[in-house]
Copies of this chain bind each other. A is one copy, B any other.
Amino acid sequence: MYITSDFDSGNIEVINTDSSPVELAIRQDNNSDFYQWFHFRLEGKVGESYPLRIVNAGKAAYPEGWENYRVCASYDRQNWFRIGAEYDGNTLDFTVELDRPAIYLAYFAPFSWERHLDLLAWAQLDDRVQLQTLGKTLDGRDMSLLTVGDAEAAKHRVWMIARQHPGETMAEWFVEGFLETLLDDANPSAQSLLRDTVFYIVPNMNPDGSVRGHLRTNAAGANLNREWQNPSMERSPEVYLVREKMLEIGGDIFLDIHGDEALPFNFVAACEGIPGYDERHAKLEETFKRAFVAASPDFQTERGYDLDKPGEANMTVGTNWCGHQFRTLALTLEMPFKDNDNLPDPIEGWSPARCQQLARDIFLPIREALKAL
C-alpha cells in the first residue's frame, strides 16, 4: 500500500502504515491551526480492503463536520462517490475496498488550479466576458476577475466571489455552473439579466490556499473572511485587491459562496447584525430567500446559522462588510460538505453536479432581488 498527496490541493500525512487501520493525519494550514481538508491517492492491491484512520480528526477546525460525514472517493478523478465513515469524537475511520489499483480520497471533490485556468480561458471566449488580473497572491498566483455583461450600459451590478476558504471547493463548482448558465444563449434568465446587469465574478478568492491544500487560510495563514475591514497586501492581498475593485465599482448584490462543514443543508447567512441594517436590507433578503426556496428544493431557510444580534455583526467578514459598505443585499451562500438531508443522495451526497444545478437555480432569486431593489 502506498499513499501520496504530491499534487494540487494534496493534504495528508502518513503516520503509520504498519498499523491496522493505517494511521493518517491532516496537515495544518500553513501558519495556522486550521485543518480539515484532505486529499490523497491510495495505491494498493485490487480486491483488498484498506482500513484507514485520520487520527487528528477530533482536533480539526469543525469536529461536528465529521458526524455523519462520508468520504469522497474517485478512481478516475471525474466521478466522485461516497464511502461511509465512523467518527468517535477523536478519529475518523473508514475502509477503502479497492476496485482498481489507485483511488483518490478527498474531503470534497477537488477543483484544481488547472481547472480554474481552464474555466477562465473558456469563459473569456465569449464576447461578453472580460478577464482581468487584479494582482498577485503571496505565492505569486493571479487574482482573476471575470466581468460579464456591458459595464457601460448596465443598470445593476452583481458581485460573486467564491472560495475565500480554499477547502470549500463546492464554491468553485458552483461558480463553474453559474458561468455556464450565464453564458448559455438559450437560457432566457441569463439573457434577460445580461440586458441590464453586469456580473463581477471572482471564481477563486484563495488560489494559494487551494493549491496548498488548505482548509481555511491563505499562504500566510490568514482567514480571508476575517480580513475585510483592514486587508493588506502583506497579509491578505486577495481581499485587498478585490475589495479595492468593489470600492471602485460598487454593487447592488454581493454573493459570497462557501461550504459548511457541519450542517447538511444549503442556506444563506445575511448581514442582519451590521450597523445601519434596515428595512431595505430585510426586504431584499426576504425576496431573495423566498424566490430561492421556490426555485430549488435544495435550498431552505429552516436550518442555518444563528442570527447576529443587531449591531453585533463581525465587520471583518466579507458579507457584513459589503452589506454595510454598499448598503445593499449581501449574502453568504453555504453548501454542505455532507449532503442536503432534505433530498439525500446515498451514492454521491452533495456533489459537483448539484453545486452546478444550485447555481442554475440561483438565477431566479437574483432576478427577483434585482426587481426589488
- A residues near B, CB below 8 A? 2, 4, 6-8, 43, 74-78, 100-102, 104, 112-115, 117-118, 120-122, 124-125, 129-133, 136, 139-142, 184-189, 191-192, 291, 294-298, 340, 343, 345, 348, 351, 353-354, 356-358, 361, 364, 368
Contacts and interface: CB of A to CB of B under 8 A. Distances in A.
Given A6-B140, A75-B121, A185-B353, 8 more contacts: A2-B133, A76-B118, A76-B121, A77-B118, A186-B357, A187-B357, A294-B294, A295-B295
A294 B364 contact: yes
Chain B CB count within 10 A is highest, among A188, A297, A345, A356, for A188
Given A4-B142, A75-B121, A343 B43 contact: no
Contact of A296 (B113, B131, B136, B189): B189
Main secondary structure of the interface of A (DSSP, over half): mixed
Nearest to A122: B76
Nearest to A99: B125
B297 A114 contact: no
Contacts of A133: 2, 4, 43
14 contacts: A6-B141, A6-B142, A7-B113, A7-B117, A8-B114, A43-B131, A74-B121, A100-B131, A101-B124, A101-B129, A102-B124, A188-B361, A189-B297, A189-B361
A76 B125 contact: yes
Contacts of A7: 113-114, 117, 141
A356 B75 contact: no
Nearest to A139: B6
A29 to B, nearest CB: 19
Contacts of A343: 188, 191-192
A92 to B, nearest CB: 24
A74 B118 CA distance: 11
A13 B124 CA distance: 24
In this complex, which of A101, A115, A125, A356 has the most chain B Cβ atoms within 10 angstroms of its Cβ?
Answer: A101
Contact of A124 (B75, B125, B140, B351): B75
User: Which 3 A-B pairs rank lowest in CB-CB distance, beginning with the nearest?
Assistant: A186-B353, A188-B298, A192-B297
Q: How many copies does the complex hold?
A: 4
Contacts of A4: 133, 142
A296 B343 CA distance: 24
Given A6-B141, A43-B133, A188-B296, A102 B75 contact: no
Contacts of A114: 7-8, 112, 114-115
A4 B139 CA distance: 13
Nearest to A295: B364
A353 B351 CA distance: 26
Contacts of A348: 185
Contacts of A294: 291, 294, 364, 368
A137 to B, nearest CB: 9
Given A6-B136, A121-B104, A133-B2, A188 B354 contact: yes
Contact of A101 (B113, B131, B186, B351): B131
Nearest to A74: B121
A136 B2 CA distance: 12
A185 B191 CA distance: 26
A130 B117 contact: no
Contacts of A186: 351, 353-354, 356-357
Contacts of A102: 120-121, 124, 131
Contacts of A115: 114
